[in-house]
């Protein structure tokens, strides 16, 4: 698909971070943009220009996402592109983590993606050539210690998107999975002091605007996957050579990234 002033795009998790950068990149192309997030408001929409619509919603609640999608499609006159990006992260050792955080990540990251896809697909199909992009993570290719449940939600998104892309063959609708590496955002603001040793932090993270540009180019080229920074795609080797990836990660991120030898 081409992304231009005729495109009607909805981004979940568009109030901050990567979703915000995606919304800005879409608005810069002249697209009508729906900003879906719990904290989405009129001021955020106004800052993106006249064609942006604030869609306050909770992706963990199927009816709430459905309402946001229906409202956007009605106001924009249809729906061409949906980016399921909303997500939360809670790092820490599995056994000492509050089980409520496990359920929260599952409800928002994984079930939120399912709810978003379910609500969006009928509209994308109706347009005849729509696109769904799902923001997973490098952690969906190779999960990291102290992020076991987070990684599991990201791997669930990857598996879902892979199957859906094939399932939608011939429908005109396509699916791209996005694998960000470390990107500047608010994702870890609540746990900056307790991040695992293998985490590099914002100093070495890539700007969200660069990821957003790569995502839009990947959607236009109907790429199966967009990994950014590009070296994140090396984590996919984990499926066939996990020992090799462990050695690579130990060298790049230190022993905490792969402590078991």
Ligand X SMILES: NC(=O)c1ccc[n+]([C@@H]2O[C@H](COP(=O)([O-])OP(=O)(O)OC[C@H]3O[C@@H](n4cnc5c(N)ncnc54)[C@H](OP(=O)(O)O)[C@@H]3O)[C@@H](O)[C@H]2O)c1
Contact residues for ligand X (CB under 6 A)? 12-19, 37-39, 58-60, 85-89, 108-109, 135, 137, 180, 182-183, 185-187
CB closer to ligand X, 109 vs 176 = 109
Q: For this structure, is 199 an active site residue?
A: no
Q: How far is the CB of 155 from ligand X (least distance, A)?
A: 12
Q: How far is the CB of 243 from ligand X (least distance, A)?
A: 24
Closest CA to 97 of 184, 191, 200: 191
Q: How far is the CB of 29 from ligand X (least distance, A)?
A: 20
Long-range interactions of 123-129: CB distance < 8 A, separation 24+: 123/69, 123/73, 123/78, 123/79, 124/79, 124/80, 124/82, 124/173, 125/171, 125/172, 125/173, 126/78, 127/78, 127/79, 127/80, 127/172, 128/172, 129/1, 129/80, 129/172, 129/173
Tokens of 167: 């399932």
CB closer to ligand X, 88 vs 237 = 88
CB closer to ligand X, 2 vs 110 = 110
Tokens of 47: 């800052």
Closest CA to 214 of 122, 120, 110, 135: 135
For residue 229, whether the previous peptide bond is cis, meaning omega lies within 30 degrees of 0, is yes
CB closer to ligand X, 7 vs 137 = 137
Please, are residues 196 and 256 in contact by the beta-carbon 8 Å criterion?
A: yes
CB closer to ligand X, 38 vs 51 = 38
Q: How far is the CB of 127 from ligand X (least distance, A)?
A: 24
The catalytic position among 91, 150, 199, 228 is 150
What number of residues does the chain have? Answer: 261
Q: How far is the CB of 196 from ligand X (least distance, A)?
A: 13
Q: DSSP secondary-structure letter at 54?
A: E
Residue labelled with tokens 């006159």: 77
Q: For residue 242, what are the contacts with CB-CB under 8 A and spacing of at least 6?
A: 142
Residues forming the active site? 150
């Amino acid at each position: 698909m081409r992304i231009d002033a005729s495109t009607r795009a909805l981004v979940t998790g568009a109030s901050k971070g990567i979703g915000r950068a995606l919304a800005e990149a879409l608005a810069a192309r002249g697209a009508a943009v729906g900003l879906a997030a719990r904290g989405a408001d009129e001021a955020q929409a106004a800052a993106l220009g006249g064609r942006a619509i604030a869609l306050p919603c909770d992706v963990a609640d199927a009816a709430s996402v459905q309402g946001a999608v229906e409202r956007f499609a009605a106001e924009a006159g249809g729906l061409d592109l949906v980016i399921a990006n909303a997500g939360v992260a809670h790092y820490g050792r599995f056994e000492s983590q509050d089980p409520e955080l496990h359920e929260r990540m599952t409800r928002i990251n994984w079930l939120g993606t399912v709810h978003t896809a379910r609500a969006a697909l009928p509209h994308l199909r109706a347009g005849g050539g729509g696109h769904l992009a799902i923001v997973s993570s490098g952690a969906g290719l190779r999960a990291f210690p102290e992020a076991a449940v987070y990684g599991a939600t990201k791997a669930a998104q990857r598996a879902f998107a892979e199957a859906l892309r094939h399932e939608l063959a011939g429908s005109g609708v396509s699916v791209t999975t996005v694998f960000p590496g470390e990107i500047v955002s608010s994702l870890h603001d609540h746990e900056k002091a307790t991040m695992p040793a293998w985490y590099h932090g914002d100093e070495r993270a890539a700007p969200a605007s660069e990821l957003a540009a790569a995502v839009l180019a990947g959607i236009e080229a109907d790429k199966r996957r967009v990994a950014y920074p590009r070296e994140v795609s090396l984590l996919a080797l984990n499926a066939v050579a996990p020992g090799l990836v462990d050695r690579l990660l130990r060298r790049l991120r230190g022993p905490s990234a792969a402590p078991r030898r």
